[in-house]
Amino acid sequence: MRLFAAVLPPAEVRKELDPVRDRLRAMPGAEGMRWTGREGWHFTLAFLGEVEDALLPELTARLERAGRRTGTFALRLRGGGHFGGRALWAGAAGDIATLRRLAERADAAARRSGLPMEEHRHYRPHLTLAHSRTDLDLRPYASAMDGFEGTPWEVADMALVRSRLPVSGVRGEQPRYETLVRFPLGPARQEPPNGRTQGRTQGRTQGKPDGDPGADHDPGAGRGAPGR
């Protein structure tokens, strides 16, 4: 099945983006673009591609650990940008360093589970609002999002999402997304039963750790620049 790991903004945050998207859709040329549905809005952390069922237990175990090692963090929607003339997106602000670290850990988890991950590109947090089949000048759309700031929320989990591509052949139909699992961020709380301390089982049950793909070395979280 086709999978990706993502941060899912809560419904009330997605709602704040609705009027922005509506304004963009009213701009000249917008009718020729494919607009994503609010229900599916997300920040991709790692695109995993086709994953065989047999890999799922290891993949989910590793993603779970990646989430556990990353604390919760604050995020908000901010402004927008575009990838060339093909993709228009809303941006993010807040603890981008942690978001990026989570993306790197998700990528590492997938790689270590045996998935042939693409070479690491510079991670650009983005929530895709629209795609265009032809090259459009998307700068006016991105500029129209200048000054947009969403309400911050605390990212508390990472979702594993299944994407079903449209098979109908109907032009403009969207992939359907289904959240399979949500991995909580931050250390698991151990509630000792009857006040007794639980033994540490980590080393025995979890095998070799994924390792940390590294801290954030990248200062360039620029927005709006064309090209990925």
Q: Is 73 in the site for ligand 2AM (CB under 6 A)?
A: no
Write the CA distances from 10 to 14, 75, 187, 221, integer angstroms: 6, 11, 22, 23
14, 20, 44, 136: residue in contact with ligand 2AM (rule CB under 6 A):
44
Beta bridge partners of 76: 93
Helix (H, G, I), strand (E, B) or coil at 129: strand
Q: Least distance in Å: CB of 136 to ligand 2AM?
A: 16
Q: By the 8 A CB rule, do 117 and 46 touch?
A: yes
Between 87 and 108, name the residue whose CB sits nearer to ligand 2AM.
87
Q: Least distance in Å: CB of 130 to ligand 2AM?
A: 10
DSSP E strand boundaries for the chain:
2-7, 34-35, 43-50, 73-83, 87-94, 127-131, 153-155, 157-164, 176-184
Angle between helices 56-68 and 96-112 (to 10 degrees): 150
Q: Least distance in Å: CB of 120 to ligand 2AM?
A: 12
Between 10 and 189, name the residue whose CB sits nearer to ligand 2AM.
10
User: What is the size of the binding site for ligand 2AM (CB under 6 A)?
Assistant: 6
The b-or-e profile of 22-38 (16+ CB within 10 A means b, else e) is eebeeeeebeebebbee
1, 13, 23, 47: residue in contact with ligand 2AM (rule CB under 6 A):
47
Which residues, 151 to 190, sit near ligand 2AM by CB under 6 A?
163
Between 44 and 98, name the residue whose CB sits nearer to ligand 2AM.
44
Q: Least distance in Å: CB of 140 to ligand 2AM?
A: 20
Q: Is 132 in the site for ligand 2AM (CB under 6 A)?
A: no
Q: Least distance in Å: CB of 204 to ligand 2AM?
A: 35
Helix (H, G, I), strand (E, B) or coil at 176: strand
5, 45, 87, 142: residue in contact with ligand 2AM (rule CB under 6 A):
87
Sheet holding 34-35: strands in order across? 34-35, 127-131, 87-94, 73-83, 153-155
Q: Is 4 in the site for ligand 2AM (CB under 6 A)?
A: yes
Other CB atoms within a 10 A radius of the CB of residue 41 amount to 22
70, 113, 128, 132: residue in contact with ligand 2AM (rule CB under 6 A):
128
Contacts with ligand 2AM, residue ranges (CB under 6 A): 4, 44, 47, 87, 128, 163
